[in-house]
Amino acid sequence: MLLKELEKIIRIVEKSEIAELEWEKNKERIRIRKDNGPAAPMNYYAAPMQSAPQAREAVVSVAPAVATAAEAAKPAARGKEVTSPFVGTFYSSPSPTAKKYCDVGTQVKKGDVLCIIEAMKIMNEIEADFPGKIVAVLAKDGQPVQYGQPLFQIE
């Protein structure tokens, strides 16, 4: 990505309500996150202090190379997200020694078990609502998850 394009994106994000922007194209990815940190310290020489919501700091982290820019887009998502319908602990396999239910690259059919969310000693099997290929596993084995938390991305 040319520096000019990157600057353009940063300015657009800064001015907008977007808190975090992730852009991926041809294996190149950038992520820009806005840090609504504490209000700027009182500085008698600076311009009048703006109210908290307008105090902003763009934090840019650039991973591998960067993609060619167009206008600021919504976070690029591949396929659909599977979110947790339960509160509990995420397990990727039926038992510590067993094989994982699925992983990145696995083709799943509708009704296939993707993982277990355990709560109050009850193992809830999470099934795929639709067929596709797992392109991302978004939770770690043994991780506590909340309602609505993204677990998988299926294309």
Partner 1 sequence: MAHKIRKVLVANRGEIALRVIRACKDLGLETVAVYSQADEHSLHVKLADEAVCIGPAPSKQSYLNIPFVIAAAEVTGADAIHPGYGFLSENAEFARICRDCNIKFIGPKPESIALLGDKVSARTTAVKAGLPLLPGTKGAVKSLEEAQSEANKIGFPVILKATAGGGGRGIQVVHDKEKLASSFERVRSEAGAAFGNADVYLEKFCQSPRHVEIQVVADEHGNAIFLGERDCTVQRRHQKMIEEAPCPVISEDTRKKMGAAAIALVKEVGYWNVGTVEFLLDTDRKSFYFMEMNTRVQVEHPVTEMITGIDIVKLQLQIAAGEKLTIRQEDVKLKGHAMEVRINAEDPDTMKPFPGKIEGLHVPGGFGVRFDSFIYDQYTVVPHYDSMLGKLITHEENREMCIKKMLRALEELKVGGIKVNSAFYSKVLKNKKFLDNQYDTNFLEEFLPKKS
Q: How far is the CB of 5 from partner 1 (least distance, A)?
A: 32
Per DSSP bridges, beta strands 88-91 and 20-25 are: unpaired
Q: Which is nearer to partner 1, 68 or 146 (CB)?
A: 146
For partner 1, the binding residues (CB under 8 A) are 51, 53, 86-89, 119-120, 144-149
Q: Which has the closest alpha carbon to 102: 149, 142, 146, 138?
A: 138
Q: How far is the CB of 139 from partner 1 (least distance, A)?
A: 12
In the block, tokens 């509160």 appear at 87
Element (DSSP H or E) covering residue 3: helix 3-15
Q: How far is the CB of 138 from partner 1 (least distance, A)?
A: 15
Q: Which has the closest alpha carbon to 30: 56, 57, 68?
A: 68
Q: Which is nearer to partner 1, 86 or 136 (CB)?
A: 86
Residue 9 CA to residue 22 CA, distance in Å, equals: 11
Q: How far is the CB of 89 from partner 1 (least distance, A)?
A: 6
Q: Which is nearer to partner 1, 27 or 140 (CB)?
A: 140
Q: Which is nearer to partner 1, 54 or 107 (CB)?
A: 54
